[in-house]
Amino acid sequence: MLSTQALLSAIGVGEKSATVIGATFQWFLRDLTGMLGGILFTLYKGSDLDSNAKMWRLVADLMNDLGMLMDLLSPLFPSAFIFVVCLGSLSRSFTGVASGATRAALTQHFALQNNVADISAKEGSQETVATMIGMALGMILARITMGLPLAIWLSFLSLTVFHMYANYRAVRCLALTSLNIERSTILFQHFMETGQVLSPEQVSRTEHVLPTWITSWSSKKVKLLHANVRLGVRVSSLDHQEMMEVLLSARYHYLKAKYLLVEREGIINVAIHKNSTASDVLQSYIHALVMAKLMGKSTSVYLESQSWMDKQYEVFLQKLSSSGWKTGRLLSPPIIWKANWTDVSSDDKID
């Protein structure tokens, strides 16, 4: 309500010099920028929303607050009004995309009886009630602080800080049972060290909910491990001789497992077979983590990692399932490049 009041004032509502066509054009540019921003955000980050729902849920609220901040700042910069307002609209367009996408992912988490529509309807009703109460209180606050810039900014900044803190605490309490890149890495490392599997509640207290560049100082061990894995690499980017050696040394395994692991300069490159399933992708990622863990500790990384997979992988999955984790798939960015290989002793070719 405070930002809308400031925006309408900046457009010229209540001033004789303001024209309808001028205000309409400014509003049009604001909406157009938001639409274009939403399309571009979906293009570049849409595939990451499902695998990092908690982080993007928090980022969506942050971007919404930044958008309202831009609206509140717009009257202070009359010469740059359009630019500031468009920045605010651009920020809120990110919110619209991220909020809608993560809401769908989180609704599935809460639908314990596969009643997604019921949960979504009730969540929408709760949000409507909260919005109505907030609008009423916002009208009262806007009326009280009218013409008092210091009171407006103090109210806005304090409410914004409280809003972000409340959202951070809420996301921290959310214990998702799906496996993404970071949660899988945390679970794997704990299993390698103790032989036990953490519960979703325990992992939720460890994983990042803020963008990684903000929390780069923490969880260095976990971050470095999965940073050494590249999932779904393009086969043409790998060395042909290295791939042939790997295929010949573990031909039966790779024909069965539907993925190929090649270690180059400390990075585990994972090529996915075109006929792979969701469980194959999860297995390939865990296998790559095993190799990343063994690097520097063993001279036969391929053989030892395969031995661990044969003996421990099924045990790991069983313990994950018994702890409440969903082991059907790995939430990761979409794998665009896939490959095909067959037995090199036959007449078939390797693509």
The alpha carbon torsion through 105, 187, 184, 247 (nearest 10 deg) reads: -160
- State the pLDDT at residue 189: 92
3-state secondary structure of 130: helix
pLDDT, mean of residues 254-277: 82
Task: Say what percent of the chain tops pLDDT 70.
Answer: 84
Query: What does the alpha-carbon distance between residue 114 and residue 182 come to, in Å, rounded to a whole number?
Result: 26
Give the residue among 198, 261, 234 at the shortest CA–CA distance from 336.
234
Q: What pLDDT, in 10s, does the model give residues 161-210?
A: 999 999 999 988 888 888 999 899 999 999 999 999 999 999 988 888 87
The burial class, CB within 10 Å (0-12 / 13-18 / 19+), for 312 is middle
Query: What does the alpha-carbon distance between residue 39 and residue 297 come to, in Å, rounded to a whole number?
Result: 46
| Range in 5-14, 265-274, 287-296 with the lowest mean pLDDT | 5-14
The alpha carbon torsion through 23, 27, 33, 36 (nearest 10 deg) reads: -130
